[in-house]
Structures are given as structure tokens and as C-alpha cells.
Amino acid sequence: MLQKFLTKSLRQTGIFFIFVFAILCIFTTTIRPSDIKEENIFYKILAFTHHYSRSFEERFYDFRMKSLLDPNFKSKEITLIKIDDYSLQKIGSWPIPRTIHAEMIDQLSHFGAKVVSLDIFYPERSPDFGKISPDKVFVNSLKNFKKNGGEIFIAYTLVHNAEEALSEIPDQMLDHMINTRGEANLSQMKINKYTFPIKEILESGVGLGNIHAEQDSDGVFRQYQLVSNIDTIYYGSLALNAYEAYTGEKKNIKIFEDENGISGELEIDQKKLEVSESGETKIRYIGGTDQFNTVSLYDLIKAKKNDPKMIELIKDKMVFVGSTALGAHDLRSTAIDPQMPGVYSHLNMAHMLLKKYFYQKNSDSLLISLVFLVISMMVFLFVQRRGNAFFDAIIVITILAIYHFIDKYYYFPQGYELKLFYSFFCILACYSWNTFIKFYEANKEKKQIRGTFARYVAPTIVDEMLKDPEKLHVGGTKMDITCLFSDVRDFTKISEGMTATELAQSLNTYMGAMTDIVFDTKGTLDKYIGDAIVAIWGAPLHIGNHAQFAVHAAIQMMNKLPEINEEFEKLGRPKFNVGIGLNSGECSVGNMGSTRIFSYTALGDNMNLGARLESLCKHYGTQILISDMTLERIDITHIKTRPIDKVVVKGKSHAVGIHEVLHDNHWMMKTPEALASYTLAYALFQKKQFTSAKDIFDHLLEKNDSDKPVKRLSELCQKFINSPELITENFEVTVMTEK
């Protein structure tokens, strides 16, 4: 009872903390630490979680925004004149001469642009080299554009550092302040003297627009400096001023202070756009490089006066001019593109203002998110009381799907920023926690069984027992398996040269490494018999090509043996030499013994043959022997073998082909041509071409005179050459009289 009470309390406590954590993160995505007074008890928590919670939520929202953009949309009111790599190559100089800028303005005037916004800085005078000043040419073009009824705005930036700022606001700036009303003040900034236009340009009567931008804490530009407070006077951004000039309407910026702190809003046709205390608003992107009409600068200045395409793209349009060239260093990571030219933020903001494409109030989005989260959690908590894991999963998927579709087809198009990331996180985390607790409860008994039996039998057997306790009975089942028998040669002699402790340590090291290989290759340890290891593959679980797994295990054992012997040599102990035999076929597999004491094992003729093959390794001087039945089941393109003999083992009347598996340290693996020669010679031997076969075998012995199978076959060839009468029908079969 106490255990159940503690488990239930743990479940409820975990869900409660996950829910509270999600609520806290949702709040911190909308509240900046700077908006919270330091004496507030939640300040430190908010400051700690704000960076990460806001970043995760914003990036998740960015992903949704990008996936929901309309690729077929094209703005009809806005055109971009792009200073691209193509134009820079054609013009052939950087920075672009002011005379080219003048040509651009003249062409825009000719083609009927209504408003032109230059996302370009003009902070220095151009050298004139004794000719007419390029600045004067440019200023004349600006004045002519104004005379023809157009409006032009030039960019500048802001700074916080007084050393980089103008000492006082130029008189011309007063012509560009915006009408504001309210009691509170936005955060004050100063004009950057390194980006502010020169006096001659200011006196031409052009407008000015701030393009100051600050990235979010995760390095992404999502905010737009819509309004700036410079010495308690408010000025508009490049996009806002262009919008007002294009529509001919001056908008009132209402700045007010409420109980939540300083905030602001821009009201357009009864629709409100929220502005932060620094004058920023979040850009609601409509698209990137494909959603706005563009014209290369070079194409514009070279266009003919009656070019219909230019007239279509420029006449009565709001035109922005900015750099898109890779070398201009104006690429920014945005919500929809990690490498977007900065001018596109102005285009998107201008589109927002023209189409009233605003976000809803943050507080409204927050409230809806919390309501959805609370309802979802109540449904989930009610359902999970049923204790049906499958039904729990269905409900969670259904909740997330409904939440997603409601947001995608209603709230997202309406401009609500629902906090889906932490809502989804809360639901999934609670489900995962609840599932974990249920799994813990359901598997408590199984863990006890596993802890008891895993010390004695292979993990696969334990798993099978846990899945089907009915298998815990005495009796066998016919199964197709591969068995492996491994034995240490001359172990009695080895044991005589070591103390009992040293012998146990060496044997444990060897057995541990070999058993790990058995388990790693999905095998089942049958038993240890002294220094021998018996293992099977294909039972109790079907694992596909069990022969392939078993042979791979044998190869790994032989590859591991030198490493083990190297360790023994350092300790001054004898090395182990091992023989392995493998056979495949049907055996009786199951729990064998009495009703009180039994073990999981395999019995049958095929097991006996596997044991015989292990014994034959010593006779033939090999390390891994397999039967025909195993060979025909493995993929020989990945495993190298060579035929050894056909044998009638003791107690049997039928001959079985045996083959040696070559491991990495076998000399023929390092000399592939030797293996090819051996295979050819063995084929000649089978065809009774003993002279030709012997020549090849003798040549192989010159390379390695310790290869016992080669030496044996060479001797047999000589025997049959000397005594042809011994060549019978079964001349290649060896009958063993010993085990």
C-alpha cells in the first residue's frame, strides 16, 4: 500500500511541476525581464528562464510561420530596386558613385514611383576631382523627384553610446517628427553620426527614416524599430514614414502606461499594432525574396523610357532601394530565412501597415494559449485515470492535432501567436511522465525476475520468459538453430602451471569476453562445461539468419583472442589456443531437467555434430570449422571459408562436408591469392587431378609450411599418386574412429 501511495504521489507531483514549468515558460515568452522590477520575487526566475523559453517558443513559431507562407503571393503595391551582384559587376565600382544614384532617382521619377525609400547611408561627401560634385547631381535628382510629386526617404540609424551620436538634433529632423499623444515615454536613443546623411542631402527636402534593428537573444531579427524616441521627440521608421507618405495619412502613435508597464500602440483604421517600450513591433512576415517584385539597379538605369515592364513595376508604387549582394554584408537571420537581405524587413513591415496585417495583442494570445492548455490538461488527466496506455496515446495525439489545426486554420491567420511549443511540451511531457510511472509499476515484477535469472541465463531467455511465463515449464520445442562449441586446447596442461586464483582469473577473463560476443550477436548461452562454451542462435527468439550471426560470433572470438593472450602474456600466464565448431539444423530446444531444477538448452544430433566439429579442429589444425548445413545458410560474400574435408564422425554413417572459416588473423586473409590457389587445388583434388593439385599445395607450403590442412592434402595427393589402387569412390571421405 505504501509503495502504491508513493508511486501515485510521484505521478501527481511530476505532472504538477511540468504544468507549472510550462506555464512559467509561456509567461516568460511574453514578459521581458526588463519589464519586471528587481524587487519582484519572481525576477530572478524570469531572468533565468526568459532567454531559453523565449528562444524555443520563437523558433517553433518561426518554423510554423515559414511553413504557412503563401508561395504564390505577390505584393501589388511594393517594389524593390535591388543592388545585387549582377548590378555591381556591370557598374564596376564599389561604393556605387552618387551619379549612378542620381540616374536611379531620375528613372524612378520618370517611371512614376510614388514613394522611394533608400535603405542606403549617405554620411560622407563624394570626391568631385575638379568636376561637378556627384553630391550636387544627386541632390538635383532628389529635388526634381520631389517637384514631380514624389516622396523620398533616406535611412539613418540610432545608437545608445553618446560618443557615436550627434551632439544635437539637426533642424531638418524636426520636419519628420510624428504626432504622438500619451503620458509615458519610450526608451530614448541618439542619432548615429556615422550613418546620418550629409547636410546637402538634408537640405534637399528629403524625408528620413530610422532603420535601427536589434536581434533577439538567439541572434534572429524578429523585431522592427517602428518608432524612436530621440530627446523626447518621436520619429518614424523608414517603413512607417513610407507608408504614411504613400497613403497620405498621418497616424497618431498613442503611448500610454498601464499597470503592466510601458507599452504603446499604433491605431490604423481601428486596428491596433502593439509597440514595445523601445518602440519595436514584431514583424509579421508575408514572405521573402519571392513575394515582392524586384528590379536590378543596372536594369533600371539602362531601361528605355517606354519600357512597359518598368512602368508596370514602378508606376504609383512604394519603392524600396537596398542591397541584396552577398558582399554587402547586409544579410540577417530572420524568422523565415537564415540569410535574408535586411531591406526585406522594411518591405514586410510596409506590407503589414498597408494591409493592416497585424498581430493580435500579446495578452490575448497568452490568454487563449493558457485556456487551451488548461482544457487539454483536464481532458488528459481525466482520460489517464482509465489506465489504458493505448487510449492515452490516442487522446494525446488527438489533443495535439486539434490544437494544431485550430491554430493553423483560424488563430494563426488571425494574427494570434499561440504558445504552442510549451503547450505541446507540457502535454507530451505529462504523457511521457505518466507512461514512465505506469511502465515502472507494470514492470516491477518483471525486473525482479530479470534480476534473479539474468545471472544464470542469457538476456534473450529472460526476455522470452517475461513475455510468456508459460514457457517456464519442462519440455522442448523443435527449432532450426545454429550451435557453437568452443574449447581451450590443452587446458589441463595450462591449469597445472597456475595457481587456483590465477586460473580462475584467466578463465573468467576469457569466458567474460567470449560470452559478451555471444550476447552481442544475439546468441544464447547454453552452458559452460569447464573451459568449454556452448551457445546457440535462433532460440528462444527467431533472429533471421542465425547461421550468419553465429559465424560472425566465432570470427569475433578469434579476433578477440590475441588481445586476451597479450594481456595474459603481460601477467606471465600461458596463452589460450581455442577451437570452435558450428553446425546448423533442427534441435529440441527448451527447459530440460526436473520440475524443480531445469536449464534452458538444446539437444539432438545436430548439437552432437557441432561438438564433433569442435574436436576435429585439433585433428585438422584449424580454429573454426563449420558443416555444409551451416555453410549453405551464410552469405559467403562477407565471410571467407575454405573446404577442408568430408568426414564421417564417430557414431554416424553419412559423410558431412566441413569447412574452415577464416578470421582476420588467418594468413590466407592477408594473402587473398593464396586462398584462391587453395580453392583451385581442392577442386583439382576432388577431380582426381592429384599431380596438378599437389603442385599448388606444395607451392602454398612454401609460403606457410605450418598450414596443416594444406600439408594433409599434399600428402594425400602424393599417396594417391604413388598408390592409384587406393582411389575409391569415396576417396575424399575421412572416417573418424574417435570423438
Full 3-state SS string of 418-478: CCHHHHHHHHHHHHHHHHHHHHHHHCHHHHHHHHHHCCCCCHHHHHHHHHCHHHCCEEEEE
Look at residue 458 and tell me if it is in a domain. no
Give the three-state DSSP class for 47: helix
Range in 280-284, 471-475, 569-573 with the lowest mean pLDDT: 471-475
Distance CA 354, CA 548 (A): 70
At 34, is the pLDDT very low, low, confident or very high (cuts 50, 70, 90)?
very low
Pairing of strands 280-282, 253-258: unpaired
Phi, psi of 46 (to 5 degrees): -65, -45
Cell numbers linked to 194: 556615422
Do 217 and 193 share a structural domain? yes
To which residue does cell 518554423 refer? 63
Task: Pick the last residue of a domain from 303, 326, 355.
Answer: 355
Do 110 and 175 share a structural domain? yes
Do 163 and 26 share a structural domain? no
Pairing of strands 207-210, 524-529: unpaired
Do 578 and 491 share a structural domain? yes
Look at residue 447 and tell me if it is in a domain. no
Do 572 and 524 share a structural domain? yes
Distance CA 87, CA 300 (A): 10
Per-residue pLDDT of 575-588, as tens digits, reads 999 999 999 999 99
Instruction: Tell me the sheet residues that pair with 599.
Output: 592
Instruction: Tell me the sheet residues that pair with 191.
Output: 158
- Is omega for the bond preceding 71 within 30 degrees of 0, making it cis? no
Judged against a pLDDT cut of 60, whether residue 455 lies above it is answered with no
On the 0-12 / 13-18 / 19+ scale of CB atoms within 10 A, 542 is: exposed
More confidently predicted of 449 and 647: 647
Distance CA 693, CA 678 (A): 9
Look at residue 171 and tell me if it is in a domain. yes
Pairing of strands 253-258, 261-268: antiparallel
Per-residue pLDDT of 244-298, as tens digits, reads 899 887 666 665 554 554 456 766 667 778 787 778 888 888 988 889 999 999 9
Look at residue 449 and tell me if it is in a domain. no
Do 19 and 124 share a structural domain? no
Terminal Cα-to-Cα distance of the chain (whole angstroms):
61
Q: What is the pLDDT of residue 456?
A: 46
Range in 27-31, 219-223, 286-290, 638-642 with the lowest mean pLDDT: 27-31
Judged against a pLDDT cut of 90, whether residue 349 lies above it is answered with yes
Look at residue 467 and tell me if it is in a domain. no
Highest mean pLDDT among 53-57, 171-175, 646-650: 646-650
Contact 620, 712 (CB under 8 A): yes
Q: Provide the mean pLDDT of the chain.
A: 84
Look at residue 601 and tell me if it is in a domain. yes
Domain residue limits at 693: 666-739
Distance CA 649, CA 739 (A): 7
Q: Which long-range contacts (CB under 8 A, 24 or more apart) does 435-444 make?
A: 435/389, 435/392, 437/7, 437/10, 437/11, 437/14, 438/387, 438/389, 440/7, 441/7
Range in 61-65, 94-98, 483-487, 725-729 with the lowest mean pLDDT: 61-65
DSSP 489-555: TTHHHHHHTS-HHHHHHHHHHHHHHHHHHHHHTT-EEEEEETTEEEEEESSSS--S-HHHHHHHHHH
Per-residue pLDDT of 167-217, as tens digits, reads 888 877 776 676 665 554 667 888 888 989 998 898 888 999 999 888 877
Highest mean pLDDT among 68-77, 451-460, 534-543, 624-633: 624-633
Helical packing angle, 2-28 and 420-442, nearest 10°: 170
* Cβ neighbours, 10 Å, residue 438: 17
Do 684 and 636 share a structural domain? no
Helical packing angle, 708-722 and 672-686, nearest 10°: 30
Judged against a pLDDT cut of 50, whether residue 129 lies above it is answered with yes
Q: How many domains does the chain have?
A: 4
Of the candidates 357, 361, 375, 370, the one whose C-alpha atom is nearest the C-alpha of residue 419 is: 370
Do 384 and 419 share a structural domain? yes
To which residue does cell 529635388 refer? 143
Per-residue pLDDT of 703-712, as tens digits, reads 999 999 999 9
Look at residue 20 and tell me if it is in a domain. yes
Helical packing angle, 420-442 and 43-68, nearest 10°: 100
Instruction: Produce one character per residue of 79-106: b if its CB has 16 or more CB atoms within 10 Å, e if not.
Output: bbbbbbeebbeeeeeeebbbbbbbbbbb
Altogether, the residues listed in the chain come to a count of: 739
Question: Between the CA of residue 59 and those of 333, 701, 720, what are the distances in Å?
Answer: 12, 70, 82
Q: Compute the average pLDDT of residues 690-716.
A: 94
Judged against a pLDDT cut of 70, whether residue 498 lies above it is answered with yes
Do 205 and 82 share a structural domain? yes
To which residue does cell 594417391 refer? 720
Judged against a pLDDT cut of 60, whether residue 638 lies above it is answered with yes
Look at residue 719 and tell me if it is in a domain. yes
Do 315 and 250 share a structural domain? yes
Task: Pick the last residue of a domain from 622, 643, 663.
Answer: 663
Do 630 and 512 share a structural domain? yes
Of the candidates 453, 476, 454, the one whose C-alpha atom is nearest the C-alpha of residue 593 is: 476
* Cβ neighbours, 10 Å, residue 712: 17
Percent of the chain with pLDDT over 70: 84
Task: Pick the last residue of a domain from 308, 339, 355.
Answer: 355
Judged against a pLDDT cut of 60, whether residue 553 lies above it is answered with yes
Give the H or E element holding residue 144.
helix 134-147
Cell numbers linked to 660: 574452415
Judged against a pLDDT cut of 80, whether residue 438 lies above it is answered with no
At 33, is the pLDDT very low, low, confident or very high (cuts 50, 70, 90)?
very low
Do 603 and 566 share a structural domain? yes
At 36, is the pLDDT very low, low, confident or very high (cuts 50, 70, 90)?
very low
Contact 149, 116 (CB under 8 A): no
To which residue does cell 538448452 refer? 601
Phi, psi of 381 (to 5 degrees): -65, -35
DSSP 666-716: SHHHH-HHHHHHHHHHHHHHHTT-HHHHHHHHHHHHHH-TT-HHHHHHHHH
